[in-house]
């Protein structure tokens, strides 16, 4: 079983919609959590870190539930430019520095 | 340069050939990582350097894979006797070490080297 599991999608939503992605991780000792965004044939780029108290960055809200070991990302008022693959990322519980990536969830925002 | 630079961007190799992929991290970044991303998958950890020291190579899939960073800046990932299953994008990332976990794992990735083994 992979350490980080995500629904690969694709999620097809109209512009302006709200969409939510979830991800689960297997090791309760993991310490740091992130969402990265990857455009087609491009490198992953950090979208936001995920904090225990939850955090918001504009239209993006990330939540962490340590008890249930899941992380969520909510995107409000979707834009065409939000179309990408969203990677859920958890620090490797053994090393503390290496990142374990999920397979990614594909989002397509349509006009 | 301002970002992580990787070369070549694209490499086609015949099965059995050796390849070398280069990574030039952001100046001053102590930590350097190599990841392998197969089509439709997330990046998979290969190896980690702190300066010139290779602290973790647990993700290297076989002894055909070798990485080095002799002067603590540029790194090279070498794959010997390439196989078709080695076809993937090889991503290099660098980061500052950070303190107390803050920023420690915020990686900046290069554009990757896409390897196709025929």
Residue range B67-116, pLDDT digits in tens: 999 999 999 999 999 999 999 999 999 988 643 344 446 789 999 999 99
**Which residues does chain B have within 8 Å of residue A34's beta carbon, measured at their own beta carbons?**
105-106
- Is it the case that residue A51 has pLDDT exceeding 90? no
Phi, psi of B79 (to 5 degrees): -120, 120
Tell me if chain B has a CB within 8 Å of the CB of A66. Answer: no
Q: How far is B73 from chain A (nearest CA, A)?
A: 19
> What's the confidence (pLDDT) of residue A93?
63
> What's the confidence (pLDDT) of residue A91?
84
Confidence of residue A56 (pLDDT cuts 50, 70, 90): very high
CB atoms within 10 A of CB A61: 18
The stretch A36-60 carries a mean pLDDT of 93
- Is it the case that residue A61 has pLDDT exceeding 70? yes
- Is it the case that residue A100 has pLDDT exceeding 80? yes
With contact defined as beta carbons under 8 Å apart, do A78 and A17 qualify?
A: yes
CA distances, B8 to each of A16, A27, B24, B51 (Å): 40, 36, 11, 23
> What's the confidence (pLDDT) of residue A29?
84
* Tokens 């990614």 belong to residue: A104
What percentage of chain B carries pLDDT values higher than 70?
Answer: 92
Tell me if chain B has a CB within 8 Å of the CB of A93. Answer: no
Q: What is the mean pLDDT of chain A?
A: 92
């Amino acid at each position: 079983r992979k350490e980080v599991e995500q629904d690969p999608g694709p999620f097809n939503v109209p512009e302006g919609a709200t969409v939510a992605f979830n991800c689960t991780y297997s090791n309760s000792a993991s310490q740091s959590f992130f969402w990265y965004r990857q455009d087609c044939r491009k490198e992953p780029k950090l979208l936001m870190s995920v904090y225990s108290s939850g955090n918001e960055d504009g239209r993006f809200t990330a939540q962490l539930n340590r008890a249930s070991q899941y992380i969520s990302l909510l995107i409000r008022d979707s834009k065409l430019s939000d179309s990408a693959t969203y990677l859920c990322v958890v620090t490797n519980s053994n090393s503390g520095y290496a990142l374990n990536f999920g397979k990614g969830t594909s989002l397509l925002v349509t006009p | 340069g301002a970002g992580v630079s990787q070369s070549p961007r694209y490499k086609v190799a015949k099965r059995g050939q050796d390849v070398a992929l280069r990574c030039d991290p952001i100046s001053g970044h102590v930590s350097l990582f190599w990841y392998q991303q197969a089509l439709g998958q997330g990046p998979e950890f290969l190896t980690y350097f702190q300066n010139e020291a290779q602290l973790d190579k647990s993700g290297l899939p076989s002894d055909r894979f070798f990485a080095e960073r002799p002067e603590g800046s540029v790194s090279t990932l070498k794959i010997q006797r390439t196989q078709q299953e080695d076809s993937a994008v090889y991503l290099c990332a660098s980061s500052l070490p950070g303190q107390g976990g803050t920023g420690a794992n915020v990686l900046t990735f290069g554009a990757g080297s896409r390897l196709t083994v025929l």
